Chain A
Amino acid sequence: MSQNFRLENVGFINRDKKLSFKFNGKKYFGYEGDTLASALLANGVHLVGRSFKYHRPRGFFGAGVDEPYAVVQLYRNNETEPNVKATEQELFEGLEAKSVNCWPSVNFDIGAINNFLKIFLPAGFYYKTFMWPKSFWYRIYEPFIRKAAGLGVVSTKHDKERYEHKYEYCDLLIAGSGPSGLASAYAAAKNGASVILAEDKPRFGGTLLTSDVNIGNQSGEDWANSIISELKEMPNVTVKNRSQVFGYYDHNMLVMSEKVSDHLPKTKKYHPKQRLWYIRAKEVLISSGSIERPIVFGNNDTPGVMLSSAAKEYLKVYGVLVGKNPLVFTNNDSGYETAIEFKKNGINAIVLDSRVNPQSEIIDEAINLGIKIKFSYVVVAAQGYKKVNSADISKISDDKKQLGTIENIKCDCICVSGFWTPTIHLASQSGNKTQFKEEIDAFVPGVTKQNETTLGAANGVFTLEETLKSSFSAGQDLSKKITNNDNKISFPNVVEKKSSQHDKFWCVPLPKGKSYKRFLDFQNDVAVSDIEIALKEGYRSIEHVKRYTTLGMATDQGKTSNLNGLQLVSDIENKVVPSVGHTTFRPPYTPISIGAIVGREVGKHSKPTRKSPMHSWHEKHNAVFVDAGVWLRPRYYKNGNETLFEASKREAKNVRTNVGVCDVTTLGKIDIKGPDAAELLNRVYTNAWLKLPVGKARYGVMLREDGIVMDDGTTTRISENHYHMTTTTAQAANVLSHLEYYLQLVWPELNVNVVSTTEQWAGAAIAGPKSRKLLQKLFPDIDVSNEGLPFMGYMKSDLFGAKARIFRISFSGELAYEINVESDNGNFMWEKIIEMGEEFKIQPYGTEALSTLRIEMGHVAGSELDGRTIPYDTSLEGLVSKKKDFIGKRSLERKAFTANDRQKIVGVVPLDKKTSIPEGSHLVKDAQAQLPNKKLGHISASCWSVEHDNPFSLAILKDGKNMIGEKLFVMSPLKNKIIPVEIVSSHYVDPKGERVRS
């Protein structure tokens, strides 16, 4: 098909590069520099979609970010992307797109039946029905509604595209490259300020590209190009097109999304699809311009009805006629510019101007060009279903209440101009309280909140000369504050046509006996009648109106509808617009890809992965890993076809009979130094620390101030004023912050320094009856006898040349040692242990065996210290000093914490000694009791006791201390299990703790 609506010499497209593309399966051609919208319009295609609720035919309404209709499904590089605005998507060779929300096709859409049912579907109709029968909502009505709603289709395949982040600081961030953006950027750049100039469109210049003005004896476009070229050459300036500043956050942090590859058939290798910029700016200049607002009339959603400025942009930028028999409907001078552009290209437009007898230069020019103008005339309704074919027009009375005789005139498009709405989103997001400006019937920014300055049309200034003047001086003044330079720029001579006052008129009354839908929100199908119903029913706050009718909640975020909605509410409620107030502007200004917001932290990189220095050894030896926070730890080492259960049993048994080695690098390690280190420990831990001798370790428990156990671990006195604290893997970071908090803020008088040494030391625990023999082999020069290195003893030594620390501590309950070497030597240590341990039948063991060992010993871990237990609950009350004060002690006196029947840790053994007890089960007295069945406690950890060869669990049980010997039931309804059990001591193996001391 040929491009019948393409002009020959107009526009900035590259006619030397013809591009083919497909829309709804049909092949078309366009040119490089087109958007999908301009290329379709060049081919005379107006019907692009269906509306959300009534499935009415929809065309193009705008030419950019404000587009409410032309939302398509895009296919690019074997991926599909929903809800792409055709007015923003640049054309590339091979582009494919489809209409959304219509079935079977955009031309014949079954859903359009809603259009005939529309009298039954007013605002909020769904709140009043679909309630009977009760079960039908979720089963019948809702699935139907869900299917009908939604726009495009999202693929659930993984996104192959790459997104990046960039962090920038600058003196001035300038959002928008129209006249005010260019002028302020130029002035600031000349003053030596670092400037980022952002433009959301591919081309710089904003309205200068389409308006008939002259700056310094150049056309607006030429002036824009010369300024941009100069700015691009300056080292202190970053100029970015396809970049939307969409959010103004706290402390002058702004976020911009740059479309790096969306305009290309596929993303280049190592390039991102999009890049998100976090920009911290000293000053922010908002030069985001304004958006034309529609006038509301009957069937104003028909394809072919569009903003007059959009029609002009399609013509001047893309060389595309949106119609060959256009009607322009305006309440201000802007409509004439469009009519004149048509005329210059041989197209005769008719202008309907709602004003009585306006006078201005541009009207004179139109008259001189022979353009037909009808004053005091309005479009009453568009006619045509899938495309405008005529318009019902009429004279309107001066008070705008009475229509005259309806006439029908032929036309193939209606270009509407209802004056301009400043784009104040960024200023409002910054916290600026906007104010209503009567002269322009719109809101403008009020008093500056953060360091933002709004310029030009965004500030309600619609003359070029004033815009340029204020922008040059803003750029100049703001940069001067920062750079102290004062390079004056001579102000260019500006030629523009003077405008006359617009008409405060935004909605054409309904003719008698007609019930045309007059739409405010085009995508969500919100009509004037919907707002009227909402108000009639008492939904009178503007927020209620918005929520009840969904006005402004579509993907265009109400850019063309909100202000007219406000006008309507204020008219009906008989209030002035500012007292109705607008709904809050929140980021993002326009929908932003979630991929871009997230950046590179996807897949395996969504969180860091921490590995011990011995990780590759574990990998080579068939370790199966488990996530422990962000650490990876060997869970077990798989031997042949072993299951987790078999392997962990083998590993645990080997510890109990021979010797095993476990990687304990992930335990948190904190170095504590200073003359008051012992005092700090004494305040942090519940037990006494002042008398711990050098060369000794001690187990300690620390509480939060609310008395709940925070963490446990051993701390060793390395030398007089030097301690080595260990924490659990999970709490390492919290404990360090906790210590720093008390040292810096609560007890600054304590002379202590703390620093994390988790990464500095690699740790291996060797445990089992043969561990001493192994230790002796590893350290032949030291005395490792029970006397030389007693339980809880510590020694420094040398492991075949590597500096090592040896701690005689045990989590497994066996005779055990923990060896630390500097991380770089971790693998060396590990291999030495394995090599030397061979004769003692050493085996590595993972976290699963470690759990088994600690459970049958009754040692507590994270599943008992779950942020809800106090020392008593886990039988650690022996470690709670009665003599001294410590963090959280006062909380332990509370009633619930000292209750006689307080919960306590116990052991649980199934009566049949066979049935494994699932973790997370609960203990009850009567398994057959009615629900809710009273729970007495829960199973915190379970294992297969390798010592007793039967299942064993730990439980936190109400009144646990008096329950030993009781028979209860373990219930796991989730797993359909009821297990009769006996309550025993939590110390199931070696209750006197002789082994660790042997």
Chain B
Amino acid sequence: MRSQNEFSYGGDASVKRPELNQEISDQDWDNFVYNRKSLRGKHLELWQHISGCRQWIKVERDTGTHEIFNTYKADEASS
């Protein structure tokens, strides 16, 4: 178990960057850059072990209680 201090937050992990070189509607682009659901409850989010191995990981965490349910590697599918 590592200290919270070693990690840096990276936001909502469910946000997918649109593919390069594709036509993107204004709405889709805004949804990617700006709009967030940010709800109470289970939240899949990104953290980077910035003062450690520098891996980005995905964390499933409760935004109401801060309970952590699961963690996934960057390339691992989250279920």
Stretch from A173-181, A627-635, A736-744, A932-940 forming part of the interface with B: A736-744
The listed residue (B24, B66, B68) touching A890 by CB distance below 8 A is B24
Q: Which residues of A contact B10 (CB under 8 A)?
A: 741
A901 contacts partner chain B, Cβ-Cβ < 8 Å: no
- Residues on A lying within 8 angstroms of B by beta carbon are 167, 169, 250-251, 278, 280, 431, 449, 683, 705-706, 737, 740-741, 744-746, 748, 884-886, 890-891
Give bound CA distance, A769 to B3, whole Å: 53
Q: Which residues of A contact B1 (CB under 8 A)?
A: 169, 251, 280
Cross-chain contact A740 with B20 (CB below 8 angstroms): no
B37 contacts partner chain A, Cβ-Cβ < 8 Å: no
B46 contacts partner chain A, Cβ-Cβ < 8 Å: yes
Q: Which parts of B1-37 form the interface with A (CB within 8 Å)?
A: 1, 3, 8, 10, 17-18, 20-21, 24, 29, 32-34
Q: Which residues of B contact A741 (CB under 8 A)?
A: 10, 46, 48, 56
Main secondary structure of the interface of B (DSSP, over half): loop
The listed residue (A250, A745, A885, A891) touching B20 by CB distance below 8 A is A885
Give bound CA distance, A748 to B66, whole Å: 29
The listed residue (A251, A278, A891) touching B29 by CB distance below 8 A is A891
Cross-chain contact B56 with A744 (CB below 8 angstroms): yes
B65 contacts partner chain A, Cβ-Cβ < 8 Å: yes
Q: Which residues of B contact A740 (CB under 8 A)?
A: 48, 54, 56
Given that A250-B66, A280-B1, A740-B54 are known contacts, is A745 also in contact with B8, CB under 8 Å in the complex?
A: no
Cross-chain contact B33 with A706 (CB below 8 angstroms): yes
Q: Which residues of B contact A278 (CB under 8 A)?
A: 3
Give bound CA distance, A891 to B31, whole Å: 12
CB distance from A117 to the nearest CB of B (A): 47
- Residues on B lying within 8 angstroms of A by beta carbon are 1, 3, 8, 10, 17-18, 20-21, 24, 29, 32-34, 46, 48, 50, 54-56, 65-66, 68, 74-75
CB distance from A17 to the nearest CB of B (A): 43
The listed residue (A705, A737, A884, A885) touching B8 by CB distance below 8 A is A737
Q: Which residues of B contact A737 (CB under 8 A)?
A: 8, 48, 50
Cross-chain contact B75 with A744 (CB below 8 angstroms): yes
Interface core residue of B10, B18, B33 (most chain A CB under 10 Å): B33
Cross-chain contact B74 with A744 (CB below 8 angstroms): yes
Cross-chain contact A745 with B74 (CB below 8 angstroms): yes
Cross-chain contact B32 with A705 (CB below 8 angstroms): yes
Q: Which residues of B contact A169 (CB under 8 A)?
A: 1
Closest 6 CB pairs of A and B: A744-B74, A885-B20, A250-B66, A744-B56, A885-B21, A746-B17
Give bound CA distance, A291 to B20, whole Å: 65
CB distance from B8 to the nearest CB of A (A): 7
Give bound CA distance, A890 to B27, whole Å: 12
Give bound CA distance, A706 to B29, whole Å: 10
CB distance from B18 to the nearest CB of A (A): 8
Give bound CA distance, A744 to B10, whole Å: 13
Give bound CA distance, A890 to B18, whole Å: 10
Residue of A nearest to B68 (CB): A251
Give bound CA distance, A706 to B34, whole Å: 9
Cross-chain contact B48 with A748 (CB below 8 angstroms): no
Residue of B nearest to A756 (CB): B54
CB distance from B56 to the nearest CB of A (A): 5
Given that A705-B33, A737-B8 are known contacts, is A745 also in contact with B21, CB under 8 Å in the complex?
A: no
CB distance from B13 to the nearest CB of A (A): 8
Give bound CA distance, A431 to B10, whole Å: 26
Residue of A nearest to B10 (CB): A741
Given A737-B50, A740-B48, 5 more pairs with CB closer than 8 A: A449-B65, A683-B20, A737-B48, A745-B56, A884-B21
Q: Which residues of B contact A748 (CB under 8 A)?
A: 74-75
Cross-chain contact B46 with A891 (CB below 8 angstroms): no
Residue of B nearest to A742 (CB): B17
CB distance from A693 to the nearest CB of B (A): 24
Residue of A nearest to B24 (CB): A890
Q: Which residues of A contact B18 (CB under 8 A)?
A: 890
CB distance from B6 to the nearest CB of A (A): 12
Give bound CA distance, A251 to B34, whole Å: 31
CB distance from A608 to the nearest CB of B (A): 12
CB distance from A896 to the nearest CB of B (A): 13
Residue of A nearest to B75 (CB): A748
Residue of B nearest to A889 (CB): B20
Give bound CA distance, A594 to B74, whole Å: 38
Given that A251-B68, A890-B24 are known contacts, is A744 also in contact with B55, CB under 8 Å in the complex?
A: yes
Given that A250-B66, A745-B74 are known contacts, is A891 also in contact with B48, CB under 8 Å in the complex?
A: no
Give bound CA distance, A741 to B29, whole Å: 19
The listed residue (B33, B50, B74) touching A891 by CB distance below 8 A is B33
Give bound CA distance, A431 to B62, whole Å: 13
Q: Which residues of B contact A886 (CB under 8 A)?
A: 20
8 A-B pairs (CB sep. < 8 Å): A167-B3, A251-B1, A705-B17, A740-B56, A741-B48, A741-B56, A744-B75, A891-B33
Q: Which residues of B contact A885 (CB under 8 A)?
A: 20-21
Given that A250-B66, A737-B8 are known contacts, is A745 also in contact with B24, CB under 8 Å in the complex?
A: no
Q: Which residues of B contact A683 (CB under 8 A)?
A: 20
CB distance from B46 to the nearest CB of A (A): 7
Q: Which residues of A contact B8 (CB under 8 A)?
A: 737
Cross-chain contact A431 with B65 (CB below 8 angstroms): yes
Residue of B nearest to A894 (CB): B26
Give bound CA distance, A737 to B48, whole Å: 8
Q: Which residues of B contact A705 (CB under 8 A)?
A: 17, 32-33
Give bound CA distance, A517 to B3, whole Å: 50
Residue of B nearest to A884 (CB): B21
Q: Which residues of A contact B55 (CB under 8 A)?
A: 744
Q: Which residues of B contact A744 (CB under 8 A)?
A: 55-56, 74-75
CB distance from B19 to the nearest CB of A (A): 9
Give bound CA distance, A748 to B74, whole Å: 9
CB distance from A629 to the nearest CB of B (A): 16
CB distance from B33 to the nearest CB of A (A): 5
CB distance from B28 to the nearest CB of A (A): 9
CB distance from A709 to the nearest CB of B (A): 15
CB distance from A993 to the nearest CB of B (A): 32
Give bound CA distance, A250 to B63, whole Å: 12
Q: Which residues of B contact A250 (CB under 8 A)?
A: 66
CB distance from B74 to the nearest CB of A (A): 4
Residue of B nearest to A886 (CB): B20
Give bound CA distance, A706 to B33, whole Å: 6
CB distance from B12 to the nearest CB of A (A): 12
Give bound CA distance, A737 to B46, whole Å: 12
CB distance from A759 to the nearest CB of B (A): 15
Q: Which residues of A contact B66 (CB under 8 A)?
A: 250-251
Q: Which residues of B contact A890 (CB under 8 A)?
A: 18, 24, 29
Q: Which residues of A contact B33 (CB under 8 A)?
A: 705-706, 891
Q: Which residues of A contact B34 (CB under 8 A)?
A: 706
CB distance from A686 to the nearest CB of B (A): 13
Q: Which residues of A contact B17 (CB under 8 A)?
A: 705, 746
Give bound CA distance, A449 to B65, whole Å: 10
CB distance from A748 to the nearest CB of B (A): 5
Residue of B nearest to A888 (CB): B33
Give bound CA distance, A741 to B17, whole Å: 11
Q: Which residues of B contact A280 (CB under 8 A)?
A: 1
CB distance from B25 to the nearest CB of A (A): 10
Q: Which residues of B contact A167 (CB under 8 A)?
A: 3
Residue of B nearest to A883 (CB): B21
Residue of B nearest to A707 (CB): B33
